[in-house]
Amino acid sequence: MATVMQKIKDIEDEMAKTQKNKATAHHLGLLKAKLAKLRRELLEPPSKGGGGAGQGFDVTKSGDARVGLVGFPSVGKSTLLNKLTGTFSEVASYEFTTLTCIPGVIVYRGAKIQLLDLPGIIEGAKDGKGRGRQHRQLIVFNAASEMQVISTARTCNCIIIVLDAIKPITHKRLIEKELEGFGIRLNKEPPNLTFRKKDKGGINFTSTVTNTHLDLETVKAICSEYRIHNADVTLRFDATADDLIDVIEGSRVYIPCVYALNKIDQITLEELEILDKLPHYCPVSAHLEWNLDGLLDKIWEYLDLTRIYTKPKGMNPDYEDPVILSSKKRTVEDFCNQIHKDMSKQFKYALVWGSSAKHKPQRVGKEHELEDEDVVQIIKKV
Ligand SMILES: Nc1nc2c(ncn2[C@@H]2O[C@H](COP(=O)(O)OP(=O)(O)OP(=O)(O)O)[C@@H](O)[C@H]2O)c(=O)[nH]1
Ligand SMILES: [K+]
Ligand SMILES: [Mg+2]
């Protein structure tokens, strides 16, 4: 892995040295594409004898959603897991107390949310730095296990970046950079651009908006790095070289992220007021259990789950045990599939009560989109 890491480092150095202007745009685009390809190599499972970088921790996914606690060592991730789930994960004042992934469960508004406590990560996993020399677990930990944390983070429906209120704000940026470097996009939508390969005709570049970052030459340079010589590229927003690379690379994950600002018992009210205004932030004190409800509310908001109550014929809806759908897959068909794999085949129509229904009830087909807290009764074929 060292050679890939060295190559990454070389490219990063070259990018840092290259002045950003119109004349260098295509060269920088090319370097970014090279970087993206190398980082993908790091995430791929090793062919032989490698570090197992592509594999996350061996913890079974369970419940309706998965949330991961990510952050530098000793910011209070394990303390948060313990307080939020009642599970035991060792807490101590020294760094790298947690050596593996510890799962816990939060039952919130009828949904079962799996919360993962993860080992602390440090800056520069991809540079092969691994764990600090002064730590006792140096032998156990190396850059590869850091990759396990990142691979596991990729499987989460929401990431909580835990920050220490008394540590510098730059820590946030370092953690983000680490996750972004491995294809995780935080609080971002997939880029609104289409990229279509074809057999001939060269590179066609069009844009429906004024674009300030990309030009034909840069697009061509990026494509050539992927040995693509014929393609239609259409932008529907002011996309950057990174956006285009994300679409070509494909394996990006778009995950909502909450920044839990922990240990606020250590800062002044004035400091807290400033930090409280930052977007996606949630100030807490895990140790003193301050604002844990606020954090749960925020996680719930960012998970954006849809609760559907089932109503058996002639009976009251079951408000205790909702069927949980994700906001992106919440049609009646998705609901059927959640209940039983054959439900969709037996489906005749559904009756829906709630905000998605025009009448009380509305008779709908499989394609109908449900909303949070709708009540649904399925009518089967006889
Ligand atoms: N003052 C204060 N200390 C806290 C708070 N939360 C956690 N701590 C302390 O911070 C230290 C580290 O807590 P952990 O929960 O072990 O942190 P971690 O992020 O899991 O650490 P690693 O597993 O080593 O990465 C412990 O001494 C905790 O008691 C808090 O809200 N306020
Ligand atoms: K610790
Ligand atoms: Mg821990």
- Order of strands, sheet of 102-108, starting from the edge strand that comes earlier in the sequence: 102-108, 111-117, 65-70, 158-164, 257-262, 281-283
131 and 168 housed in the same domain: yes
Q: How many Å lie between the centroid of ligand 1 and the Cα of residue 221?
A: 47
Q: How many Å lie between the centroid of ligand 1 and the Cα of residue 78?
A: 7
The residue written with tokens 């910011």 in the block is: 75
- Residue where a domain terminates, one of 208, 223, 249: 249
281 and 335 housed in the same domain: no
Q: Under a CB-based contact definition with an 8 Å cutoff, are residues 354 and 373 in contact? A: yes
Tell me which of 74, 99, 291 to substitute to probe ligand 1's pocket, judged by most ligand atoms within 8 Å of the beta carbon.
74
Cα separation of 220 and 227, whole Å?
10
pLDDT at 42: 77
297 and 309 housed in the same domain: no
pLDDT at 142: 55
Angle at 347 between CA 346 and CA 350, to 5 degrees: 155
Give the domain CATH number at 311.
3.10.20.30
pLDDT at 41: 82
298 and 314 housed in the same domain: no
**Which residues of the chain, if any, have pLDDT below 70?**
1-2, 45-54, 123-144
DSSP helix/strand/coil, 381: coil
Residues of the domain holding 214: 2-43+191-249
131 and 274 housed in the same domain: yes
123 and 264 housed in the same domain: yes
Q: Is 135 exposed, middle or buried (0-12, 13-18, 19+ CB in 10 A)?
A: middle
What 8-state DSSP symbol labels residue 264?
A: G
CB atoms under 10 Å from CB of 328, counted, come to 8
pLDDT at 144: 65
Q: Under a CB-based contact definition with an 8 Å cutoff, are residues 201 and 253 in contact? A: no
106 is written with which tokens?
């939060």
260 and 283 housed in the same domain: yes
pLDDT at 47: 53
Give the domain CATH number at 259.
3.40.50.300
354 is written with which tokens?
């709630």
- Residue where a domain terminates, one of 263, 280, 303: 303
Asked whether residue 56 is assigned to any structural domain, the reply reads no
Residues in a beta bridge with 305: 326
pLDDT at 4: 82
Nearest residue (by CA) to ligand 1, atom 21, is 74
pLDDT at 146: 82
Residues in the ligand 1 pocket, defined by CB under 6 Å: 71, 73-79, 91-93, 95-98, 119-120, 262-263, 265-266, 285-288
160 and 288 housed in the same domain: yes
Tell me which of 287, 290, 292 to substitute to probe ligand 1's pocket, judged by most ligand atoms within 8 Å of the beta carbon.
287
Q: How many Å lie between the centroid of ligand 3 and the Cα of residue 8?
A: 29
Helix spans in 55-117 (H): 77-85
DSSP string, 343-370: HHHHEEEEEEESTT-SSSSEEE-TTPBP
What 8-state DSSP symbol labels residue 289?
A: T
Cα separation of 309 and 373, whole Å?
7
- The structure's pTM equals 0.88
Nearest residue (by CA) to ligand 1, atom 11, is 93
DSSP helix/strand/coil, 301: helix
pLDDT at 181: 87
Closest atom of ligand 1 to CA, residue 95: 24
313 and 175 housed in the same domain: no
Ligand closest to CA 93? 1
- Residue where a domain terminates, one of 282, 303, 324: 303
Asked whether residue 281 is assigned to any structural domain, the reply reads yes
Q: How many Å lie between the centroid of ligand 2 and the Cα of residue 195?
A: 45
CA dihedral 121, 66, 177, 82 (to 10 degrees): -40
Tell me which of 85, 95, 97 to substitute to probe ligand 1's pocket, judged by most ligand atoms within 8 Å of the beta carbon.
97
Peptide bond into 256 cis (omega under 30): no
